[in-house]
Amino acid sequence: MPVLAALVYLFLYAPLLVLVVFSFNSGRLASSWEGFTLGWYAQALADERMQASLRNSLTVAVATTVISTAIGTAAAMGLRRAGGNRSGWAGFLVLPIFVPEVVLGASLVLLFAAVGLRLGTATVILAHVGFSISYATVVVRARAMSLDPGLEEAAMDLGASPLRAFFAVTLPALAPGILAASLLVFALSIDDYVVTSFVAGVGATTLPVHIYSMVKSGVSPAINAVSTLLLLSTSLLLFAAWALEQGARIRMALAPAALGFAILAAPFAASRPAGSADRVLNVYIWSNYIAPETIRKFERRHNARVNLDLYDTNEAMLAKVQSGNVDYDILCPSSYPIQVLIAQGLLRPLDHSALPHLANVDPAFLDRSYDRGNRYSAPYFWGTAGIAYRRSRVGAVDSWAAMWDPRHKGRILMLDDARETFGAALLRMGASLNTTDPALLARAQQMLLLQKPLVRAYNSSNYEDVLLSGDVWLAQGWNGQFARAIEQDADLEYVIPKEGASLFLDSLVIPAGAPHPELAHAFIDFTLEAEIAAEICATMRYSTPNAAALRLLPAALRANPAIFPPPDVLARAVLLEDVGDAVVLYDRLWTEVKSR
């Protein structure tokens, strides 16, 4: 029996244990232990984005706690008066506890859009209050039920007004319940991800949302350190809440609760005050597309704070922008969604007089058909989507056929992107990756369904890490991240298959409703400066369209075929174009592939 119990506990706690242990591992990979370090904690605590998200989390959690506990207490008292458990109202109150979080998140977004509320800190607080009132009510009510109503009556018999009786008698008796409810609500709010990810607009990124976006861009084990701290503090708060509910004295619960708060507050106290920047810029860009140091340079130069929000597909970005209630100043679409955004009137014409460094761009990347005269867009990066593979495992690869080779079953990764996966299938069939022909697309879908049993993962964010870790041997992906991976592992290679590959050209644009268009222009021009564009290219390893930057790059980078393929290879790459209404078809067919 004890063995069984131990196994159950192991099952429950093993993942957390691994997390905690590896937060002290000096190596980058979770696959091997390379020595003890506190370095990731230092790095995590010094990270300004982490601090900013923690600040947001604390603001939200404190506001949520105050509001929810007050409402919960009032509700608990009301329920007590209404006749305890016999009242049907109590059932209604706890219902939200059982509503799936995704449903709650999605419906709140609809509601906020319907009443014209912009997504931001306020909407996060409203959402958190929404899901935590029930918990607060349940906890306070448990305490209220055990209260002797005679006490309150006795106080009033002795001449106290109802209000005085409440504050002098009822409230002190309820205090442990109220405190337990506060701690519970605080902990729920601090670590909520699902609902928050729906309703947090730009600039209201909370700690869990930030942690998730760190995972997506696959940066560093600092994630483990932050997660360990979050785990520790919420455990302490929940333990204190539980102790209070079990009837512990308030004094006893104080120590764990205080420690829990202190763990969260320490990095907060060390952080730079939020008010130090006069101006704000909301940037929504691909993950792995700009380095934090580059952002910091811009912030310093303009005394501004940049809120960074990341996406991994054009479609995700389009959906968010088209929903209409997010305040972005900068987007980074590929060429084909730019056509869509322009057609829908969602972009603001650029003021070229504020973009003197546009002259640095190689004319070959300007005045393209998707935006004549670059009225709306300034080129940022270009590149290809090819295959990177582990040579020692699969030999030399030169064709998309390798991605359909049953010998590589379970070792293949494809992008999680309709245009790119269909693009690969269409190229393999010898068709155009810009086709709108339903018959061809249906055949491409059949190919992708055929391939699916071989595919280990569809991933558009940190696919290069999956390849590096050895989990897969072949990965479809965008070249820049592969170029970085190849530098870390000489066994990896990047190829543009003989059937061809997709070419992308991504540009910075300003949405029509951008709240800070002036600073947005300053940001675009900043990225066009020769030194900055060179730095962006050198750190991210995607290909720069900036001729002046190209001259500043180290020769080795310029000669790197994964970043700047030789002309004969590049000739095989085809620019992804807008497929018009067929986009709906692509989307439906791709969803079917993934869900079947």
Binding footprint of ligand N2P on the chain (CB under 6 A): 286-289, 334, 478, 504, 506
3-class state of residue 93 by DSSP = helix
Q: Which is nearer to ligand N2P, 515 or 561 (CB)?
A: 561
Q: Which is nearer to ligand N2P, 232 or 291 (CB)?
A: 291
Cα 521–522–523 angle (5° rounding)?
A: 90
Smallest gap, in angstroms, from Cβ of residue 504 to ligand N2P? 4
Smallest gap, in angstroms, from Cβ of residue 368 to ligand N2P? 15
Q: Rounded to an integer, what distance in angstroms lies between the CA atom of residue 23 and that of residue 40?
A: 7
Q: Which is nearer to ligand N2P, 68 or 384 (CB)?
A: 384
CA neighbours closer than 13 Å in the CB half-sphere of residue 43 = 14
Q: Which is nearer to ligand N2P, 59 or 539 (CB)?
A: 539
Q: Rounded to an integer, what distance in angstroms lies between the CA atom of residue 536 and that of residue 549?
A: 9
Smallest gap, in angstroms, from Cβ of residue 562 to ligand N2P? 13
Smallest gap, in angstroms, from Cβ of residue 457 to ligand N2P? 16
Contact 35, 25 (CB under 8 A): yes
Smallest gap, in angstroms, from Cβ of residue 587 to ligand N2P? 17
Q: What are phi and psi of 588, to 5 degrees?
A: -65, -45
Q: Rounded to an integer, what distance in angstroms lies between the CA atom of residue 381 and that of residue 595?
A: 32
Q: Which is nearer to ligand N2P, 39 or 218 (CB)?
A: 218
Q: Which is nearer to ligand N2P, 290 or 454 (CB)?
A: 290
End-to-end CA distance of the chain: give it in Å, rounded: 42
Smallest gap, in angstroms, from Cβ of residue 255 to ligand N2P? 45
Smallest gap, in angstroms, from Cβ of residue 435 to ligand N2P? 19
Q: Which is nearer to ligand N2P, 233 or 314 (CB)?
A: 314
Q: Mention every residue, 6+ apart, whose C-beta is less than 8 A from residue 445.
A: 422, 425, 589, 592, 593
Token representation of residue 326: 């997010």
| Count of CB atoms situated within 10 Å of the CB of 324 | 12
Smallest gap, in angstroms, from Cβ of residue 505 to ligand N2P? 8
Q: Which is nearer to ligand N2P, 134 or 314 (CB)?
A: 314
Identify the residue whose tokens are 């442990």: 176
| Count of CB atoms situated within 10 Å of the CB of 553 | 20
Smallest gap, in angstroms, from Cβ of residue 478 to ligand N2P? 4
Q: Which is nearer to ligand N2P, 288 or 445 (CB)?
A: 288
Cα 360–365–367 angle (5° rounding)?
A: 100
Q: Mention every residue, 6+ apart, whose C-beta is less than 8 A from residue 253.
A: 176, 179, 180, 183, 240, 241, 243, 244
